[in-house]
């Protein structure tokens, strides 16, 4: 039994009540055992059975659920800082992709890297990520684009998951882009994904979700539909990169498939908004990509007004979103997407958990959920996300264990 | 005698050659004595007299001049996270100011704080700032708005300067906004600034620069001109908050006064650009304020094309730019202002030094300058500013002394 006392503000982030409702408790305490939350409430009401439990002191700080980064491309080799400069000088994402840069340059580098090399690189990233208060990270494949190479990436994620302590949610994104060797045989690649890659990934338990990139430069509506339906038949939750560079009907497809999430959505139509609102699809906003690619942001206010749950994630990848700093993405969501700090926090907790189908286990601080939380050196969510600092998180806890920073013992 | 060896890339940031030219050296070394740089060059050419000097190992990393944050409002009390949320919900800066929020709410809180309280708060901020690689910080008064209160703020900066190790550049900004007690006597306040505050600040050696806020909600062209001329007569370098919310002819005034800098410039006109280009006034861009206030950015590309030296600073203040993370501001300058990483770095080094009139002492790595530098965990400037991390700086050195992080000893 463990108790965290003297919590100035506990943002429980329960699902009910809409995007802005984080269900805060003041002068609170949080008790857990065996990695699971047993009790939360005002410290004055802490039940007698916890009075002698080992106690930690939050020193009046903010405590939030461990953050969930529900959209990353964590395993890749190389970087693309050169393209960052090219985009500043005015070249578009599609121009860069057409000239052999973009995703394909990362595919070449990633194929050349061994599973061990990629594992070490991801471990290094996670060493930077966990201290930010992030505890669950969705990780997509998609830089392999062959059976062997896509499974290699998913095995990196399995190894990371087994090594702990981060909670890794693996997603198969074989449908990231058509690989060069299938340039003149798109149908052949879709067949490979549907008949070989998806079944094997599912059979080996290597993926939880199946994703596809529906875009002019990637896969058509029909191809994405076929792939995600095959994924669903194999037991993988559908997700979709949708309406990023143009309105390709992605939101409608996500709604039709009852996907757990539709991601990007910078160009979502009004019909698309209504479709995902009707079907309860989470809209995953990716404000770092918006900033870096100089796009207009997704219409967060219209989505929220129609009752869509909006998540916020980093989209960490070497091209369009070269940062895994999720609190920084939340601050950007406030300024670029006009989300309030509370709305942004809900977007990186319970709504992000829904976007990976784990809302029963993570994403909020409630009895029965895992004891994943972050202690933040700020008196409020507003102060945290407004006063952008290198890192305001002073302790990250996963399954009841401190995995970064430290918790002071209470006397 | 000290030597830093094994520098993968040394960005000297000498003034000549334009905004994009950082004069890089590869496989370099840097030698200093008594806080002053003696030699820089390729390590293979290190003179014999340094062969036995105490040596440190940069481990192949990037070394940049200590960053210069040439525009901050460091000393204030309170915060304004509530206004951040109001702006997200659509209230404008001017609406918030007219309803008693904005600068005046910080003025009330700051007047109530003691010199010691403000000193401790600033020290706490500096503890966060120096590890980012920032070594020189311009600090404005402007939340006092009376003789006694403005001098109190400048004395806080003098105490910080004496306490070290940060290099503090104090700027008198008595003309930040007309204080409430002079609401019906603007002329009386301008008289107070010109006849009492400026002369006393100058006589006591409390300020290096004199600044004014030329804007509809603050001071007129004529008032700002009178104040900055009085400052110059007292030996203070003129600076100007210009053309932030509208084109008020601020750039033209800065040129007429031969100010060291014109700051903000989101609404600068073509004539304004030509005026500051002709007179060599540095344009200080403040991309965090651009992001937070949802303004369009200053036209960095047009400024650079006309030969204006563009600096990048944080504008750290509790209202419109609540972050002192200068590397983050540089990354924003790349994405929002379309400056390349090298251009942004020059903007926070030698151009920023020019914006406070200290280009002979700081802002570049050259023999004769102070040994202020940052060791960055990145192989290039592009990689540093593209891959946004909590903090990529591993050691900050001021006057040859490590003040944050650590330098490994070379064997």
Task: Say how many domains are in chain B.
Answer: 2
Instruction: Look at residue B7 and tell me if it is in a domain.
Output: yes
3-state secondary structure chain B: CEEEEEEEEEECCCCCCCCCCCCEEEEEEEEEECCEEEEEEEHHHCCHHHCCCEEEECCCCEEEECEEECCECCCCCCCCHHHHHHHHCCCCHHHHHHCCCCHHHHHHHHHCCCHHHHHHHHHHHHHHHHHHCEEEEEEECCCCCCHHHHHHHHHHHHHHHHHCCCEEEEEEEEECCCCHHHCCCHHHHHHHHHHHHHHHHHHCCCCCEEEEEECCCCECHHHHHHHHHHHHHCCCEEEEEECCCCCCCHHHHHHHCCCCEEEECCCCCHHHHHHHHHHCCEEEECHHHHHHHCCCCCCHHHHHHCCCCEEECCCEECCCECCCCHHHHHHHHHHHHCCCHHHHHHHCCHHHHHCCCCCCCCCCCCCCCECCEEEECCCCHHHHHHCCCCCCEEEEEECCEEEEECCEECC
What is the average pLDDT score of chain A? 96
Of B88, B387, B390, the CB nearest to A132: B390
Instruction: Look at residue B125 and tell me if it is in a domain.
Output: yes
CB contact at 8 A, A374 and A133: yes
A45 and A165 housed in the same domain = no
Nearest Cα residue in chain A from B337: A88
Instruction: Look at residue B97 and tell me if it is in a domain.
Output: yes
Answer whether residue A93 shows pLDDT above 80.
no
Of A332, A380, A386, the CB nearest to B322: A386
Interface check B341 vs A, CB under 8 A? yes
Residues in chain B: 411
Q: Residue B139's beta-bridge partner residues? A: B170
Which run of H or of E encompasses A29? strand A24-33
Which run of H or of E encompasses A404? strand A401-405
Helix/strand/coil for A381:
helix
Distance from CA of A368 to the nearest CA of B (A): 32
Residue whose C-alpha is closest to residue A63's, from A401, A408, A395: A395
The per-residue pLDDT for range A181-230, each reduced to its tens digit, is: 999 999 999 999 999 999 999 999 999 999 999 998 899 999 999 999 99
Interface check B389 vs A, CB under 8 A? yes
Answer whether residue A410 shows pLDDT above 90.
no
- Alpha-carbon A79 to chain mean position: 20
Q: Report pLDDT for A295.
A: 87
Of B84, B89, B338, the CB nearest to A88: B338
What does the alpha-carbon distance between residue B89 and residue B313 come to, in Å, rounded to a whole number? 27
Answer whether residue A94 shows pLDDT above 90.
no
| A306 CB-near residues (< 8 Å, 6+ apart) | A273, A274, A277
Q: What is the DSSP string of A93-136?
A: HHHHHHTT-THHHHHHHHHHS-HHHHHHHHHHHHHHHGGGTEEE
Residue whose C-alpha is closest to residue A106's, from A77, A132, A86: A77
For chains A and B, count residue pairs whose Cβ atoms are closer than 8 Å.
97
CB contact at 8 A, A289 and A260: no
B86 and B46 housed in the same domain = no
Residue whose C-alpha is closest to residue B242's, from B226, B220, B227: B220
Q: Which of B333, B354, B375 is the last residue of a domain?
A: B354
What does the alpha-carbon distance between residue B251 and residue B81 come to, in Å, rounded to a whole number? 31
| B127 CB-near residues (< 8 Å, 6+ apart) | none
Residues in chain A: 411
Here the tokens at position A325 are 């700093």
Interface check A394 vs B, CB under 8 A? no
Q: Report pLDDT for B96.
A: 84
A270 and A400 housed in the same domain = no
What does the alpha-carbon distance between residue A388 and residue B149 come to, in Å, rounded to a whole number? 28
| A299 CB-near residues (< 8 Å, 6+ apart) | A265, A268, A273
Cis amide linkage into residue B39, ω under 30° from 0: no
Distance from CA of A165 to the nearest CA of B (A): 20
B47 and B142 housed in the same domain = no
Q: What single DSSP character describes residue A308? A: P
Alpha carbon distances (Å) from B184 to B178, B181, B260: 10, 8, 32
What does the alpha-carbon distance between residue A302 and residue A176 come to, in Å, rounded to a whole number? 28
A22 and A74 housed in the same domain = no
A71 and A143 housed in the same domain = yes
A72 and A166 housed in the same domain = yes
Answer whether residue A100 shows pLDDT above 80.
no
B318 and B395 housed in the same domain = no
Could you give the count of Cα atoms lying within 13 Å of B258 in the half-sphere of its Cβ? Answer: 4
A138 and A211 housed in the same domain = yes
Q: Would you call B294 and A335 a contact, using CB atoms and an 8 Å cutoff?
A: yes
The per-residue pLDDT for range A346-396, each reduced to its tens digit, is: 999 999 999 999 999 999 999 999 999 999 999 999 999 999 999 999 999
Predicted confidence band of residue A15 (pLDDT cuts 50, 70, 90):
very high
Q: Which residue has the tokens 């802490």?
A: A46
What is the β-pairing status of strands A209-212 and A54-57?
A: unpaired
Query: Within the 78-137 window of chain A, which residues sit less than 8 Å (CB to CB) from chain B?
Result: 79, 81-82, 84-85, 88-90, 128, 131-132
Answer whether residue A73 shows pLDDT above 80.
yes
Q: Which of B354, B372, B390 is the last residue of a domain?
A: B354
Alpha carbon distances (Å) from A237 to A209, A222, A240, B350: 4, 18, 10, 53
Give percent of chain A above pLDDT 90: 92
Instruction: Look at residue A313 and tell me if it is in a domain.
Output: yes
Domain CATH for A394? 2.30.40.10
Residues in chain A closer than 8 A to B82 (CB atoms): 382
Q: Would you call B390 and A335 a contact, using CB atoms and an 8 Å cutoff?
A: no
Answer whether residue A67 shows pLDDT above 80.
yes
What does the alpha-carbon distance between residue A148 and residue A157 come to, in Å, rounded to a whole number? 15
Phi, psi of B122 (to 5 degrees): -65, -40
Go through A44-66 and write b for each residue having 16 or more CB atoms within 10 A of its CB, e for each that does not.
Answer: eebeeebeebebbbbeebbbbbb
B231 and B346 housed in the same domain = yes
The per-residue pLDDT for range A258-292, each reduced to its tens digit, is: 999 999 999 999 999 999 999 999 999 999 999 99
Q: Would you call B386 and A131 a contact, using CB atoms and an 8 Å cutoff?
A: no
Of B81, B89, B390, the CB nearest to A391: B390
Low-confidence ranges of chain B (pLDDT < 50): none
B177 and B217 housed in the same domain = yes
Instruction: Look at residue A140 and tell me if it is in a domain.
Output: yes
Interface check B310 vs A, CB under 8 A? no
Q: Report pLDDT for A281.
A: 98
Instruction: Look at residue B290 and tell me if it is in a domain.
Output: yes
Residue A183: Cβ-neighbour burial (10 angstroms; 0-12, 13-18, 19+): exposed
CA angle A379, A16, A166 (to 5 degrees): 65
Q: Which residue has the tokens 């290039």?
A: B380
What does the alpha-carbon distance between residue B324 and residue B314 come to, in Å, rounded to a whole number? 6
Q: Report pLDDT for A203.
A: 98
ipTM score: 0.96
Alpha carbon distances (Å) from A227 to A141, A154, B247: 15, 17, 54
Q: Report pLDDT for B41.
A: 98
CB contact at 8 A, B225 and B194: no
Phi, psi of B61 (to 5 degrees): -80, 175
Give the structural domain span for A243. 67-354
What does the alpha-carbon distance between residue B409 and residue B406 come to, in Å, rounded to a whole number? 9
Domain CATH for A191? 3.20.20.140
Q: Which of A354, A373, A394 is the last residue of a domain?
A: A354
Here the tokens at position B264 are 């903000």
CB contact at 8 A, B234 and B224: no
Q: Report pLDDT for A102.
A: 87
Distance from CA of A84 to the nearest CA of B (A): 7
Instruction: Look at residue A359 and tell me if it is in a domain.
Output: no
Q: Report pLDDT for A217.
A: 85
Q: Report pLDDT for B98.
A: 79
Q: Report pLDDT for A373.
A: 98
Of A132, A335, A339, the CB nearest to B292: A335
Instruction: Look at residue B409 and tell me if it is in a domain.
Output: no
What does the alpha-carbon distance between residue B190 and residue B174 come to, in Å, rounded to a whole number? 9
Q: What is the DSSP string of A311-343?
A: EE---BBTTTB----HHHHHHHHHHHH---HHH
A315 and A179 housed in the same domain = yes
Cα dihedral A82, A83, A84, A87 sign:
positive
């Amino acid at each position: 039994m463990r108790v965290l006392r003297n919590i100035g503000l506990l943002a429980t982030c329960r699902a009910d009540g809409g995007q802005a409702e984080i269900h805060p408790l003041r002068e609170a305490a949080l008790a857990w055992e065996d990695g699971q939350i047993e009790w939360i409430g005002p410290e004055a009401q802490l039940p007698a059975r916890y009075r002698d439990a080992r106690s930690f002191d939050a020193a009046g700080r903010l405590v939030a659920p461990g953050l969930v980064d529900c959209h990353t491309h964590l395993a890749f080799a190389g970087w693309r800082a050169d393209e960052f400069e090219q985009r500043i000088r005015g070249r578009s994402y599609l121009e860069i992709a057409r000239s052999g840069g973009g995703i394909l340059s990362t595919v070449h580098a990633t194929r050349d890297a061994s599973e061990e090399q990629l594992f070490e690189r991801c471990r290094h990233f996670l060493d930077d990520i966990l201290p930010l208060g992030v505890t669950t990270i969705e990780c997509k494949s998609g830089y392999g684009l062959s059976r062997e190479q896509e499974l290699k990436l998913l095995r990196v994620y399995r190894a990371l998951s087994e090594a702990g302590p981060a909670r890794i949610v693996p997603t198969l994104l074989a449908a990231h882009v058509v690989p060069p060797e299938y340039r003149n045989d798109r149908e052949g690649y879709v067949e490979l994904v549907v008949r070989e890659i998806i079944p094997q990934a599912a059979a080996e338990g290597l993926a939880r979700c199946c994703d596809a990139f529906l875009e002019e430069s990637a896969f058509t509506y029909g191809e994405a539909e076929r792939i995600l339906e095959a994924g669903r038949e194999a037991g993988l939750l559908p997700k979709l990169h949708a309406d990023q560079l143009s309105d390709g009907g992605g939101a409608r497809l996500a709604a039709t498939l009852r996907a757990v999430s539709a991601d990007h959505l910078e160009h979502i139509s009004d019909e698309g908004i209504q479709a995902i609102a009707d079907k309860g699809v989470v809209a995953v906003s990716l404000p770092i990509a918006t900033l870096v690619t100089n796009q207009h942001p997704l219409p967060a206010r219209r989505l929220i007004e129609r009752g869509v749950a909006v998540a916020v994630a980093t989209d960490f990848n070497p091209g369009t979103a070269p940062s895994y700093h999720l609190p920084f993405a939340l601050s950007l969501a406030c300024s670029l997407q006009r989300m309030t700090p509370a709305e942004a926090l809900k977007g990186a907790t319970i709504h992000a958990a829904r976007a990976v189908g784990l809302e029963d286990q993570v994403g909020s601080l409630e009895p029965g959920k895992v004891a994943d939380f972050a202690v933040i050196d700020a008196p409020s969510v507003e102060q945290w996300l407004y006063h952008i600092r290198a890192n305001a998180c002073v302790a990250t806890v996963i399954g009841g264990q401190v995995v970064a920073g430290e918790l002071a013992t209470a006397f």
